[in-house]
Amino acid sequence: MNDILQGLSAAFWLVVSLDSELIDISLRSLRVTLTALVISCIIAVPLGAYLAVQRFRYRRLVIAGINALMGLPPVVVGLVVYLLLSRSGPFGVFGLLFTPTAMIIAQVIIITPLIASIAHQAIRELWAEYHDLLISLNTTKWQRIKTLIWDGRRNLLTAALAGFGRAIGEVGAIMIVGGNIDNVTRVLTTAIALETGKGDFALALGLGFVLIGLSMIVSITIHSLSRTEREGRW
Amino acid sequence: MTQMLPLTLTDVVVRRRGKRIIGPVTHRLEQGPPTIVIGPNGSGKTTLLRVIHGIERISTGQVNWTHDAPDQQAFVFQNPIVLRRTVAENLAYPLRLAGVDKAEIISRVTTWLARIGLDALANTAATRLSGGERQKLAIARALIRTPQVLFLDEPCANLDGHTTREIEALLSETATAGTRLIMATHNMGQARRLAGDVIFMLNGKIHESGAANYIMNTPQTSELKSFFQGDIVT
Ligand SMILES: Nc1ncnc2c1ncn2[C@@H]1O[C@H](COP(=O)(O)OP(=O)(O)O)[C@@H](O)[C@H]1O
Ligand SMILES: [Mg+2]
């Protein structure tokens, strides 16, 4: 109990004093995760839509594969990305290991299947609703996908939110590929792990509360964007 | 503009899961006043319209337009499909697909909003409309590209008398303006008011067909006679 109170006050002071290290770490967390989120959405949303609209031989298999990838243990993703990016690995020449880019790559691999799966589900329902009309209007495949993504944007935002939640709180993979280097790849989750290891529970908890606050702010912002969206002029 | 009609159906059969749903159907449709498709539930009216429109795969036989132009046809489904967009955006949608320029879209949408009496609801989400409003919207959206052929599948089922009258007036004007209507209905009064000729479907086949004023007064088959008397026909 005492630890929690101390954590709360530590968090309070960290925030009100605008602790420069905290701000650095928080911004890095946001930058890495939001970059990963944007890249994942660019891949996952059209993929989900395509899987809903297009019938092909191994479609069920691909969907099952994506659903299986959702359960991929992040630590294993981290390990594999590590091996691929390490000096002796196939992508070693790019020197990406222990950089924010490596962390972004790991997060993209972790959240893309999740977003694709939720997006596919949402778009499949909308496609069932629109199917006859879009066929009747003789739409091209690309027009169908565009229409479904646009009209399903609220549900797709939920998918993105789920991806954001998973990525911002992830620690195992980014610890491995980022290395938790001070001022370079240290983010909120890895800093919490570090402080906990050092026994500085107050600071760890303080960082934890900042993390929770940050993800809540982002969630609420994204959510209110979709909610308050006016019916609008056409 | 090249004339799509006449249209000929030759020995058209639709089978689903080994069961014959319609056919064999052989029929010829000329340019002219509306064709009304009548018949008991499950007799194949919807399937026949979908086959002619080209959105239902046929198992054997042929559908031959004099000039086949998918973008010159439109279909109004029994349960109106509205896009999760504003009323005005629903009307604009087929025009956007066709790449019509912005000024033209605005002018046509404005005209049609007034014509179906939904101008005050232009910026309302279409999903909030009542059943009758949705159906009027679906019809206007089908007509906004001035198709040569318009299919309607029981457009006034479940609608009140006032809305039915409005829709019938709109359809009469549309037919007079040169759009070929092909419409399934359950409403014999409506058939009488709109029909140029009648197709009577029974058990997936065209049981009887001919000019409306003739067939409605002197049905040739006992089944159509019973159908007009409101008996159960099988
Ligand atoms: N996709 C389908 N698969 C199997 N049976 C179908 C399918 N579509 C329609 N049917 C069946 O075909 C028959 C004709 O249906 P339909 O054309 O909707 O008739 P109607 O519009 O006159 O009520 C019905 O018995 C219906 O159950
Ligand atoms: Mg029907």
What domains appear along chain A, each with residue ranges and CATH number? 21-227 (1.10.3720.10)
Q: How far is the CA of A125 from the centre of ligand 2 (A)?
A: 23
A55 near B CB under 8 A: no
Answer whether residue A222 shows pLDDT above 90.
no
pLDDT, one tens digit per residue, over A38-71 is: 999 999 999 999 999 999 999 999 999 999 999 9
Give residue A204's identity as a one-letter amino acid code: A
Q: Please tell me the distance from the alpha carbon of residue B167 to that of residue B146, in angstroms, as a whole number.
A: 16
Q: How confident is the model at residue A233 (pLDDT cuts 50, 70, 90)?
A: low
- 10-residue mean pLDDT profile of chain B (234 residues): values are 91 96 94 96 97 96 93 95 97 97 97 96 96 97 97 93 95 96 94 94 96 92 92 84
Q: How far is the CA of A138 from the centre of ligand 2 (A)?
A: 22
| Burial state string for A41-56 with b = 16 or more CB within 10 A and e = fewer than 16 | beebbbbbbbbbbeee
Average pLDDT over residues A129-143: 96
- Give the least confident one: A191-195, A228-232, B44-48: A228-232
pLDDT at A232: 54
Q: Which chain B residues have a beta carbon less than 8 Å from that of A122?
A: none
| CA–CA min distance B230, chain A (Å) | 32
Ligand 1 site residues, Cβ closer than 6 angstroms:
B 16, 21, 39, 41-47
**pLDDT greater at residue A218 or residue B129:** B129
Q: How far is the CA of B18 from the centre of ligand 1 (A)?
A: 13
| Contact: A136, B88; criterion CB under 8 Å | no
Q: How far is the CA of B87 from the centre of ligand 2 (A)?
A: 26
By Cβ distance, the residue of A132, A136, A151 closest to B83 is A151
Give residue A198's identity as a one-letter amino acid code: K
Size of interface A-B (CB pairs under 8 A): 46
**CB contact residues (below 8 A), chain A span 124-153, against chain B:** 126, 129-130, 132-133, 135-139, 143, 147, 151-152
Average pLDDT over residues A16-33: 91
Tokens 């606050």 label which residue?
A213
By Cβ distance, the residue of B81, B94, B123 closest to A234 is B123
**pLDDT greater at residue A177 or residue A14:** A177
pLDDT, one tens digit per residue, over A72-131 is: 999 999 999 999 999 999 999 999 999 999 999 999 999 999 999 999 999 999 999 999
Answer whether residue A153 shows pLDDT above 60.
yes
Answer whether residue A229 shows pLDDT above 60.
no
pLDDT at A203: 83
Q: Which of B12, B43, B47, B154 to mutate to test the pocket of ligand 1 (most atoms within 8 A of CB)?
A: B47
Contacting residues for B25 by C-beta, under 8 A, at least 6 apart: B9, B11, B12, B13, B48, B61, B205, B206
Q: Please tell me the distance from the alpha carbon of residue B114 to that of residue B172, in angstroms, as a whole number.
A: 17
pLDDT at A206: 85
Average pLDDT over residues A172-193: 95
User: For residue B75, what are the CA distances in angstroms to A127, A134, B51, B154, B174?
Assistant: 18, 11, 11, 11, 14
pLDDT, chain A, mean: 91
ipTM: 0.95
pLDDT above 90 covers a percentage of chain A that reads 76
pLDDT at A227: 62
pLDDT at A224: 80
Q: Which atom of ligand 1 is nearest to the CA of B21?
A: 12
